[in-house]
Homo-oligomer: A and B are copies of this chain.
Amino acid sequence: MPVETKTTTLTTTECAVLGLLARAPQSGYDLKKAVDRSVGYFWGPAKSQIYAVLPSLVAAGYATSRTVAQERRPDKQVYRITRAGRAALREWIEEAPDSPSPDRNPLLLKIFFGEYASAEILLEQVRARRADMEQLKDELDALDERARGDTHDLFPQLTRMYGRRYADAIIGWADDVERALGERR
Report which A residues bind B (CB closer than 8 A). Answer: 12, 15-16, 19, 22, 38-44, 86, 89-90, 92-94, 97-98, 100-118, 121-122, 125, 128-129, 132, 152, 154-159, 161-162, 165-166, 168-170, 172-173, 176-177, 180, 184
Contact = CB atoms under 8 A, between A and B. Distances in A.
Nearest to A86: B116
A106 B122 CA distance: 30
Contacts of A22: 113, 116
Contact of A103 (B38, B103, B112, B155): B103
A165 B155 contact: no
Nearest to A40: B102
Contacts of A169: 165-166, 168-169
Nearest to A93: B117
Copies of this chain per assembly = 2
B42 A109 contact: yes
Given A93-B110, A125-B97, A169-B168, A43 B117 contact: no
Nearest to A125: B97
Contacts of A38: 112
Contacts of A43: 102, 104-106, 108-109
Given A12-B109, A19-B109, A116-B19, A103 B172 contact: no
A122 B152 CA distance: 17
